[in-house]
A = this chain, B = another copy of it.
Amino acid sequence: MKPLEMLEKLQNGVAGEESIREFYETHGFVQLGEHRLDVGRESRSAVPEVIFGLGKSVDQLREIVGFYVARQLPLLVTKLDVAKGTALAAEFPPFEFNPSNGLGRIGRIAKTMAGSAAVLTAGSSDAPIAEEALGSLDFFGISTLRAFDCGVAGIHRLFASAHEIREADVLIVVAGMEGALPSVVAALFRQPVIAVPTSVGYGASFEGLAALLGMMNSCAPGVLVVNIDNGFGAAAAARKILAGRKAG
């Protein structure tokens, strides 16, 4: 039986025992050392498996990156520090590491999305996380636009980008400190707003907790929040929003 057909059955719960076992062993995931690469995640959930680089050793990452390089498959690794990222990029030529967003990539997934996402930041210090979102969106085949440094300390800077912002289908708003920008954006624009608190700040920002709580309590209805510094998660949610239009 062909993988895609099987996956479809699997997703629908329509699969006999033997075929399930066989499928899992060959297609449901790939057993790679101790790793179980979830190769069916994209067709099942609209977001492919992406490798979380934090806390993995270089040896673990080498095993995974080598697998993708050998098969010429697209790959995204997040939260790579410079030492790991540089080492992997040196060893595996098609693997590119970008120190400004902590992403390691091979190519881009095939299925490009219709629609676009705008990424806004409150301040220039939020740029690394915004770049993580932009790089992930690009990997997901989603076109992007950017409006950085629009925080409420000079709110007219936001108004100046209003026309461009209205063109996008999803708004990703990246802000540290008190994290007030998503409230203002959600109240002025019609699109869904994905708020990304950042750890930018000090003292009572408590590594982004202040921004996170602020966004959670937005007085503007409908602000959606992801983890602190989780630019990738915002991009993944954008993909589900755009993909979800014709639910699977």
Which residues in A have some Cβ–Cβ distance to B below 8 Å?
9-17, 20-21, 24-25, 28-29, 34-36, 38, 40-41, 44-47, 49-50, 52, 54-57, 60, 79, 100, 122-125, 127, 146, 148-157, 159-160, 162-163, 166-170, 176-180, 183-184, 186-194, 197, 199-230, 232-233, 236-237, 239-241, 243-245, 247-248
Which among B36, B44, B151 is the interface contact of A188 at CB below 8 angstroms?
B44
15 residue pairs bridging A and B, Cβ less than 8 Å apart: A13-B21, A13-B159, A13-B162, A152-B219, A153-B221, A155-B155, A178-B179, A180-B183, A192-B237, A203-B212, A203-B230, A204-B228, A213-B213, A214-B214, A241-B244
Q: For A124, what are the chain B residues with a Cβ–Cβ distance below 8 Å? A: 34-35, 56, 60
Given A29-B154, A168-B247, A214-B210: A219 and B13 within 8 A (CB)? no
Which among B56, B150, B233 is the interface contact of A223 at CB below 8 angstroms?
B233
Cα-based distance from A206 to B213 in the complex (angstroms): 9
A-B pairs, top 9 by smallest CB distance, nearest first, are A203-B228, A38-B154, A14-B17, A180-B180, A221-B236, A55-B125, A210-B213, A222-B236, A224-B224
Indicate the member of A40, A152, A155, A211 with the most B CB atoms within 10 Å. A152
Given A34-B148, A156-B24, A160-B24: A237 and B209 within 8 A (CB)? no
